[in-house]
Amino acid sequence: MLPYVSIFEYIHKQVEHNINTQESILEVYKEYKNIVNSPQLTDKVFIEVINNYFYDANIKYSSLTALKEQKQQVGFKVRATKDALIVTEVTDDLRFVVGDEITALSGDGIEYCRKRYHRILGEEPYHREDWHHILTLQNDVDINRSHQSYHFELKKYIFKEESQIRIYERDEIPIVNIKGNISFEQTIDALYQLSKIKSSRIIFDVRNANFDRLSIAEFLIPYFYEVGIRSQVGTNEAQVETTIEKHTNLFIRKLEKLYKESEEMNEQAFYQNIIDQTEGNWQYFDDNQIEFTGLSRFEDITIIIDKDTEMAAEWFVQKVQNSNIVNVIGRPTKGDLSYMDLVEEKIDQRFLLSYPVYNLKRKNYDSMVYPNELIEWSKRHALYDYDIKFAINNRC
């Protein structure tokens, strides 16, 4: 088995092109190199150290996992205010309820923890901070609930990737809730269900959508433009060009895997077209644009977005926002398209490293999608869905 410091140096070499500042390259690298030299390390602790390194160095969409162990999470989701973490969803740990205010992590107040983990949290506004990785590092939490205080030791659960399209009605308006990393097949099934609905209005809730396949985004786009009208959207950012042989080979392997996993002919054709291109220089779409005829059965489409709208879901919203029949509300999206460059690599038959390849076409620009109507988030949102209410009461 390779020593941990050698694996760390190799990982750093693979991801260093994604580090933005000299401070990160020098100070954080030296700090973590000292940590991985410790004789007390185990594989489990090493994985935790490397993932902390990615957070500290602001290397997005990179992670290290064990080949034979599953990723863990706490049994609830949170959103931050200045001095508390508000529980917004309970997934596994039923001791918690929506609206709980977490005031301390392992005995330390939230403001103190924010200073401790400032490199992980970045300079984001409170409500855009991501505390979920930090929560997995804690032993216990203190919470306030209806003027009562509780102290819970944290439990860890196997990470479950969400994948759901739920269609329901409220005030006679159909609402489509897209959550997690949905599949092409789920998308087709949802469109079939929508074809039976008689309504001129519809709401698409993609606040927690993070599907990673551009094939799904391409398939959906025409359904958000006026029926019968010819349109086009640019796709210049959907390119990958790398001169590093290792990265080229890993990306080819990724494309072949995506093709084999595709169950629908449209999706197979999408990835086959990319595979057939020159190795090391790929375009997800021909001619850097998509031309299509609008297919929408609806005249008024509201899309709700938030900070967890990311990956291909974010790119999709970016491409339909200018449609005459679409109104985007909520809060700005994730703002990072480097997920397009993601590959996976096995290391020392123990670890799986996921990271974006060195892409010469990846430009540093703001890919964040801003809503047409901004709805400020507050802790009241945990108890009542003001976004849905606004969408129902306001037409496009």
Whether residue 365 is predicted with pLDDT greater than 60 in this model: the reply is no
| pLDDT digits 0-9 by tens, 46-95 | 998 998 888 888 787 899 999 887 778 999 999 999 999 999 999 999 99
Nearest-angstrom CA–CA distance, 309 and 323: 19
Nearest-angstrom CA–CA distance, 205 and 236: 26
Pick the CATH number of 72-158 from 2.30.42, 2.40.50, 2.60.40, 3.40.50: 2.30.42
- Could you tell me if 312 and 211 are in contact, meaning their C-beta atoms sit under 8 angstroms apart? yes
How many other C-beta atoms lie within 10 A of the C-beta of residue 190?
17
Average per-residue pLDDT for the chain: 92
Nearest-angstrom CA–CA distance, 392 and 390: 5
Mean pLDDT throughout 215-223? Answer: 97
Whether residue 118 is predicted with pLDDT greater than 90 in this model: the reply is no
> Domain spanning 163-393 has what CATH number?
3.90.226.10
Q: Is 168 helix (H, G, I), strand (E, B) or coil?
A: strand
Structure tokens at 316: 């999709």
Nearest-angstrom CA–CA distance, 20 and 58: 8
pLDDT at 291: 96
pLDDT at 286: 87
pLDDT band, residue 302 (cuts 50/70/90) = very high
pLDDT at 386: 96
Whether residue 290 is predicted with pLDDT greater than 70 in this model: the reply is yes
